[in-house]
Amino acid sequence: MEETLAFAERIHAGKPQLPLALRLIQNTGVLKRHIVQPIDQTLHHPGLAERNRIYEIESKKRCPEVIEEALANAGVSVTDIDLIVYVSCTGFLMPSLTAWLINEMGFRSDTRQMPIAQLGCAAGGAAINRAHDFCTAYPDRNVLIVSCEFCSLCYQPVDDNIGALLSDGLFGDAVAAAVVRGIGGTGIALERNASYLIPNTQEWISYAVRATGFHFQLDRRVPGTMEPLAPVMRDLAAEHGWDIGHLDFYIVHAGGPRILDDLAKFLDVDRSMFRHSWATLTEHGNIASAVVLDAARRLFEEQALTPGATGVVAGFGPGITAEMAMGTWAVDPLAAIDLAALAGQRDLTPVTPVAAR
């Protein structure tokens, strides 16, 4: 944070909105972030083509290691994967990186591909939900989720509005992966999912696409969106027979401190229940679609849940869109419980996101 504040003061010195931006950055609670280039290179804008070239190089360099760890954690191999869901909103490749991964890492040639490029921070939740849908349709299949977000490649030196300055101090880079198994495994057994779009808010989070690349636009009303989304989450839990305010774990998008504080307030949940999301925000910043996977990784590492513990996974992003899933904690049925007890459930087994350095 100290470096961020110093750079902001130097680059935007004398601008009337700078004092407010500095206060907002300090209030994010983001103490550390990782980026794919040294800070001086990040602050220099070489043009869209060069930035996209860096995105391609870095994604191909960093994703395989994370994927291999995810597969190992889930106890599956590349030949066991039937669908790859690749999510990223910070660079563009066609064909998608999924084609390169299939060729380079030895996935089967009939592996299905699902790139998700325009859901922003909500895409992590969307990837989990689409994997759940796929495994519901094909119960014995497995899905690999890959999130690759290099938010620093979207930095625009000329943008000095409050939203842009705040985002410069909030977003970080990360790569994460997870496996959703149709049968078996230890993790979050996905049971129900839903999507919701707040009407007429599509311009509140957006990209302006210009010759210099993606210019992030953030409306000042965005932090207040948890008030209309909390009842949607409450209704989803009620449809599942649960009380949203009395679950055992919450994996939610760490868009910023007010997002987390407001959601805790409107769900009537102690803010400590969002500790995994708070930790992600503090140690990595807002890492877009990778947030929910990093928070889930922390849940795994805590090792505090017993089988049957209830919880929710929720990602929020442009639209304004919410992608939500309900699930229970399940352990490997072959080791601890009867396989039949998991009928109709799907397991999400995440891996530690590898932070770009």
Nearest to 355 by CA among 7, 33, 16, 13: 33
- Locate the domains of the chain by residue range: 2-181, 187-334
CATH entry, 187-334, from 3.40.50.2300, 3.30.360.10, 3.40.47.10, 3.40.50.620: 3.40.47.10
Q: Is 268 left (phi over 0), alpha (psi -120 to 50) or beta?
A: left
| Per-residue pLDDT tens over the stretch 254-307 | 999 999 999 999 999 999 999 999 999 999 999 999 999 999 999 999 999 999
**Among the listed residues 57, 164, 94, 117, the one whose alpha carbon sits nearest the alpha carbon of residue 289:** 117
Same fold, 2-181 and 187-334: yes
For the residues 15-23, what does the mean pLDDT come to?
Answer: 84
Q: In the chain, what percentage of residues exceed pLDDT 90?
A: 73
Q: Given a cut of 60, is residue 336 above it in pLDDT?
A: no
Rounded distance, CA 103 to CA 80, Å?
A: 15
pTM assigned to the model: 0.91
The arithmetic mean of pLDDT across residues 40-47, rounded, is 89
Select the highest-mean-pLDDT range: 158-167, 237-246, 329-338. 237-246
pLDDT at residue number 348: 52
Instruction: Give tens-digit pLDDT for 140-181.
Output: 999 999 999 999 999 998 888 887 888 888 999 999 999 999
Beta-ladder partners of 113:
84
What's residue 242's pLDDT?
Answer: 98
The residues carrying an active-site annotation are 121
Write down the architecture of domain 2-181 according to CATH.
Answer: 3-Layer(aba) Sandwich (3.40)
